[in-house]
Amino acid sequence: MHKLLLTLSAVCAVTLLANGAKTMNKTSQNPFLAPYTTKYEIPPFQKIHYADYIPALKEGIAAHKAEIDAIVNNPAAPTFDNTILALDCSGKQLNKVAIIIYALSESDNTPEMNAITKEAFPMLSSDADAISMNEGLFKRIKAVYDNQSGLNTAQKRLVDKFYKSFVRNGALLNPAQKETLKSINLKLSDLELSFSNNVLDDTNNWKLVVDNKDELAGLPQSAIDNAAAEAKSAGMEGKWVFTLHAPSRLAVLTYADNRGLRERMYEGYMNLASKGDKYDNSKNINDILTLRTQKAQLLGFDSFADYQLDNVMAKTVKNAENLLYQIWNPAIAKVKEEVADMQKYADAHGGNFKIAPWDYYYYADKVKKEKFDVNDDVLRPYFKLENVRAGIFYMANKLYGITFTEMPNAPKYNPEVTVYDVKDAQGKHIAVYMTDYYPRPTKVQGAWMSEMKPASNINGKEERPIIFNVANLTKPTKEMPSLLTIDEVQTMFHEFGHALQGMLTKATYYGQEGTNVDRDFVEFPSQMDEHWATEPELLKIYAKHYKTGEVIPDSLIQKIQKSMTFNQGFITTELVGAALLDLEWHKVNYCKDINVKAFEKSVANRLNLPKEIQFRYRSPYFKHIFGSDQYASGYYTYLWAQVLDCDGFELFKEKGIFNHDVAKAYLENVLEQGDGQDPMVLYKNFRGHTPSTDALLKMRGLK
C-alpha cells in the first residue's frame, strides 16, 4: 500500500522556500528549523526531541503563510512561474516537520508521538484549508488555468491539478460555505485519527493466551518461539501469547490443529474495534460518513463516492463497479470449488463439521499440500528475509542498473530501520532507501511506502528523494532468523515497487514526482513487481535454504508455479468484496446512524458473499477507508491496477523477465514519469495497447 503523506489538498507542502521567504531562526536549536547537515539531508533523528515538533510546526505554518501571501500580493500578472511553480515550491519548512509527524504517527506511534499528532493534525488541516480557500490565490491560479498557451504537457497537467484541487477543496464556495467546509475538515481530521488510534490500541490490547502446550500442535516453531517471547515481555513467562498482528494471527489460522484456538483468533480479529468498549469504532464510522456526505454535497456531488472518483482514471462509480463485477462472479464460483475440496479433505480426516471461516486458511493449506506437496512450512526455510531483500536488489539492478549500499551510521527513527544509499549504473546518487520490516506495539498493521524528502528538478537544480518501506513481517527470534511466507515475500516485492516509483522519478515538479499519480494508477508499479517474486529465474538467485545455503530446487519451483492459482477464489473474493463494501458505504447519503454490522451483512447478502468468507477488512478496522480519505471509495484501485500489471507483465514474459528493451520502456514511460502525462497514455506508450481483464482472470486462474 502506498501512503501519500501530503496531498495536493494540503497544497503540496513538499517543497522549496519560494519568493525570497527566509528560514526562521527564533529557536535555532530546534533541528527542524536549521538546514540538515546530514548526508543526503536525512532527518537527524538523534537530535530531534518530542518538544521540537509543535514549535517547528507553528514556524513552518507561519513561513508557509508568508510564501502564499507573497504569491497573492505579487503585482505582476499571473504566470505559470510566478503562481503555479511558486505554489508548487512553497512550504518546505512546514514539510520538514509535517512529513516526519505523518510518518511516525503510523510507524513509531509512541504515547508521546500520539499526543503530538492529536495537536498537529488539526493545525495541518487548518493550514490546508486556509490555502485552498484563499480567494486571491485561486484567482491567480484560475487566470493561468484559463490561459495555458505556451505550456508543455507536464505544466498543463500541473495547472489542471492545482485548479481542480482548489475547486474540490471549496474555492468556488461562498464565505459561509467555506467556514462550514473548514469545520467539516477539522472534525474529519480528528475522527480519522481517533479511528486509527482505536484500531492500534485495540490490536495491542487483545491477546490470545495459551497455557497448555498441547494447544500449539501444528504451529511452526518460529510462531511458538515468537509467542513465548511475547508472553515473556507481557510478564507471563511459561505461557504463549498470540496477537492480532498479521504474522501471529495468520500462523494460528493457517497451522493450529486446535479448531477452538483458530476460532478464538478469528473472532478476535473479526471483532476488532467493534466490541462496544472504548475502542469501538462504530460511532466514528457513522460520524465520518455523515461528514463526508455533507462535504460531497457542499461541493456539488451526490455522494462522497462520486466526489472521490471524479478525479481519477475510473471517473465514475459505475466504471469502478463494472470492473469489480467482471471479477466478482468468476471469483465466487471458484470459492465453491475451493470449499468443496476443503470439505472433502476435512471429512476424510475426521472432521465432523462444515467448513467455517476460521477453517479456511487451515484447510486451504492442507489441500494445497495434498495437491501440490507444497505449503509455507516447506517454503519458509528458503525465504530468509535478508535473502529476499538481496533478491529484490538483484532484480532492480538487472532491470534498471541501480545498486544499494547500506549506510550503517545514517540517522534512523527506530533502531530496526536499515538505510541504503541508492545509485544508478554510473554511480550517481539517486535516492536514500529505508526499510522497517518487523511488528512492534507502536506500529500500525499493514505495509506501506512513503517519502521523507521529495524529488524535483526545477531550473536545473535536482533534488533526490528519501523513500521508506514499512511492513509487519515475521520477526526473527534468538533461535531462528526471519523466515517469510510466500505472501510476505510478495508483500516485500509489492512495497518495493512503490519505492521504485519514488526513487527513480525524473518528474520536474513536486506535485508530479514519484507516486503523486492518480489513485487508481499508483498500485500499478507495486503490483507489477510482485510478478518477479515467484519467477524461476529470480527464485534461483535469492531463494536459498537458511541453514545449508542450498538454492531452491527445480522441483519446488515447479510446485510453486503450479500452485500460483490455488486459493485465488478466496483471495479475490476477499479483495473484491472489500472494494465493493467500500463503494457501498460511500454511495449512501447519511442523515442518521447506521448499524455497522447490519449494513455489512446486508451488503454481503446482496453480493451473495460465500458464508465461509468475510470481507478482507471489516469496517471497524478498515483503516484504508476510515483512517484517512486516501483510499475511501478507492479500495477498488488494487483491482484496477492489477488489470494493468497483469497485462503489462505479459510483455516481460514474452520477451524475457530481465529484457533490457522492455525494462527501458517501462522505466521511461511509467517509473520515471510520475504524473507528467495522462496515465493511460503512459500505459499505452509502454505496452502498445489498452489493457483488458483477460490477463488478470488468467493469472488468477479464474478463466
H or E stretch including 433? strand 429-436
Residue with cell 536545473: 460
The residue among 159, 45, 63 whose CA lies nearest residue 108 is: 45
| Helix 486-503 vs helix 523-533: crossing angle, to nearest 10 | 130
DSSP for 633-688 reads TTTTHHHHHHHHHHHHHHHHHHH-TT-HHHHHHHIIIIITTTTSS-HHHHHHHHHS
Residue with cell 475522527: 191
- 305 and 324 in contact (C-beta within 8 Å)? no
Residue with cell 507516486: 515
Q: How many helices (H) and strands (E) does the chain have?
A: 27, 9
**What is the Cα 634 distance to its own chain's centre?**
12
- 228 and 216 in contact (C-beta within 8 Å)? no
**Assigned C-alpha cell, 286:** 457513522
**C-alpha to C-alpha distance for 591 and 291, rounded to whole angstroms:** 10
**Assigned C-alpha cell, 466:** 528519501
**Assigned C-alpha cell, 703:** 478463466
H or E stretch including 453? strand 448-453
Active-site annotation holds for 495: yes
3-state secondary structure of 483: strand
- 436 and 417 in contact (C-beta within 8 Å)? yes
Q: What is the 3-state secondary structure (H, E, C) of 458-479?
A: ECCEEECCEEEEECCCCCCCCC
Give me the helices (H) in 73-174, please.
86-88, 92-107, 111-132, 135-146, 153-168
**Assigned C-alpha cell, 193:** 485519527
Give me the helices (H) in 351-480, please.
360-372, 376-379, 385-400
**C-alpha to C-alpha distance for 495 and 525, rounded to whole angstroms:** 9
- 630 and 522 in contact (C-beta within 8 Å)? no
**Catalytic position from the list 495, 513, 530, 612:** 495
Classify residue 424 by its DSSP letter.
-
The residue among 60, 56, 59 whose CA lies nearest residue 48 is: 56
Q: How many residues does the structure list for the chain?
A: 703
The side-by-side arrangement of strands in the sheet containing 418-423 is 403-406, 418-423, 429-436, 466-470, 448-453
**C-alpha to C-alpha distance for 494 and 498, rounded to whole angstroms:** 7
**What is the Cα 58 distance to its own chain's centre?**
28
DSSP for 298-339 reads HTT-SSHHHHHHTTSSS-SHHHHHHHHHHHHHHHHHHHHHHH
| Helix 111-132 vs helix 175-205: crossing angle, to nearest 10 | 160
Residue with cell 468498549: 277
Residues recognised as catalytic: 495
